Structure 1
Amino acid sequence: MALQNIGASNSDDAFYRYKMPKMITKIEGRGNGIKTNIVNMVDIAKALARPASYTTKYFGCELGAQSKFDEKTGTSLVNGAHDTAKLAGLLENFIKKYVQCYGCGNPETEILITKNQMIQLKCAACGFVSDVDMRDKLTTFIVKNPPEAKKGSKDKKALRRAEKERLKEGEAADEELKKLKKDPKKKGSSKDGPAKVGSTRKKAGSSDEERKSPPRGLVDEKIEDDEDDDDIEWQTDTSLEAARQRIQEQLTSVTADMVMLSTDEKEKKAKATDKARDNSKVASPTVENSVAENGKTSQKKLVEEVRENLKKGISANKLQSFLGSLPGSAQEVMNALYEALLDGVEKGFANVISKKKSYLAAAVAQGEDSQLFLLRAIEEFCGKPNPTAVKEVALVLKALYDADLLEEENIVQWYEEGVAGSNKDSSIWKNAKPFVDWLQNAESESEED
């Protein structure tokens, strides 16, 4: 079955994850009874997560013809002879109006019907709630025939938990069966041991008479020792203190100081990043107080210097070396770059970031912790008096995630640190939560598949 990306704006993206089957139509009947049968309407509707009756009814409303969808047979019919290209264009309009998020364009949305009989689309990626134009004819049909309620995330988690418990119980039962099977084998081997020794002695004949077979008591002792060894579970203390103690015992006092454990390096890196983050937060007010000769702070100087080079049209490749030559910490440089890129922007931050992603790609490529620096720069920028930037933080995160500038692990780590940190009361975490939840749910669903 041929597949295509959902949404005409994503048709050129070879790695787009949301796909649907290409439409297949068939003309049936003659004269006044001629009809167009959309053969794979059920598969298309399943890919769009919308009832097939909605799309069929939409075709009828737009073409001014009668349409019917049979729930039992899955047949979608529209009166009249219509080209596949024309119906595909109408399906594209349906996707824009009733499937894609009006904020980020993601097709993973859910139809909500309010108490006032208004239709809304709630995005699972960015959390944006889109208001559907109620002047469309299909809205009346949707209100009268609302979609079936999906199982909530709590139900899904309960099912997963029950499945894991069932698997654990099955594994425990298998282990008990294995132990029961091993016990009779051991007893049989201990009983047959002396007999086998005697039989080999008989078969050996006169040539083996000079050799002495081990007495029966020794054979029994060996078998008992083997059984005891099977019951013993050997364990090695793998803690950090035990590893250090073993190194000190094996090496001399001179060489032991030269050995560095990988865990120490990770701890030092984590402490260094935490110190850099704390220093950037603590140093920011002190830096602002230390005014230079021209009356502006060093952080403002960084922003102005980056802004001037961006206005001159510096390339992304040259930007990387330019950022490395700037004074200040890596976090301060990233803060200055992000603020300079969004200079003068009051709304539509995600669109601006998508257009200027090449500069951020050059900055992120500088080191392992560059993605965390970028996330903290977003946090710093949203901390300023700009409510629009805070509201659009989920859209910005999704734009950077789709552009492969941010990885899921770093986003989740940044979010968890922020929620548990001193800035946990900021509204940025509330607005970023729907996107983080979507990332984690998408990962769990992919693991189940």
Structure 2
Amino acid sequence: MASGVVNIRRDVDDKFYRYRMPILNTKIEGKGNGIKTVVPNMSDVARALSRPPTYTTKFFGCELGAQTSFDEKNDRYIVNGAHNAERLRELLDVFIDKFVLCRSCKNPETELVILKSGRNEDIIRDCKACGERTGVDMRHKLTTFILKNPPVKVKKGKGKNTGDAADGVGGGSNSPQNGDDEADANGAESDDELTKKIKAEAAELNTDAALDKEDWSADTSPEAVKQRIKALEGSMASTVLGGDDDGSDEDANSPYAQLGRWIDEERDHQEPKGFAVAIYKKAEDLGIEKKHKSLLVIVQALFTDDIMVTSEKHQKSLLGGIERFVGLVHPDLVTAVPKILMELYQIDVLDEELVTQWGTHVSKKYVDKEISKRVRKASEPFLKWLQEADDDDEEDD
């Protein structure tokens, strides 16, 4: 059985493409006239597409001329007959093109909306990325099923499933969970105060030493390098606290994808001590030096201790970048997660309370749920060490 994740648009060959989904798996059961194809991870795939799993299953039935059945309570989605997994994956691509991707910008961040005009009903894709509303082909048999089983849109802030694909709400597998949104919202005011404080301190720094790349090669003594890193930290911290525009990294040509590709291409040609400055300047050229999502891309493309983390939101993005780095790009490094977390904790990049919460709450914000579980499972030795250290402190008191 195949495992892993792929780009929702399989024609996009970019590891920094934001929208991803699990690889569709199949299982043949029964024999003779009772043979059937079960899709064990249909609900996970559909969730990544922000569509109910009944829609994708019914679409397969329409295209293959086969009966379908759903047992949503037990999470079983069946297409009668024996069907090759690769064939169903090809049909899934067709479904994505017809009922998910925006016809204008080809972004999967859409939701289906039913418009009524007299006796007529039309289904449109409402794109949350570009704002366009584009219709679907109402001649397809699936549209009859959708009209009879319209997507349910849950109001924001009501329950944990807001934005869940089973409810037909747009957002994709990378949409933020409510908990993260609330935490970011609650921390907005403190971030503003912190920004003022950091900017005031940064203004006192020697501006000639802050971001002058030529000076980095003048004196390579440990003390000089330490002072320049401190200067760079002050400059970056004063600008990197800004928010991110939703959907701004939706395609292969986004500034985030460009930054990731640039780091990949340049890291072997840059002087290590000056590369942090070069990365910052590249992000500045792309207009994303104020965006915390830049941290996620940097960690995924190049794990480095020059990353400056100045707020809770940044810590979450840093941990999200680690999930993508070890979960998607270098899965052989999953066992090294405790060491990575320990290093970041010991240099005060990660707070104990936040990393403990991260380790005990699986999230689909950055990676597939199964990958998220695997990374957090690997972090257990570090989390156990944190707990034991706290217990020892309490005993000493």
Higher relative contact order (CA 8 A, sep 6+): 2
Question: Could you say which TM-score interval applies, normalised by the shorter chain?
Answer: 0.3 to 0.5
Larger Cα-atom Rg: 1
Answer 1 or 2: which has greater helix percent.
1
TM-score by length of 1: 0.39
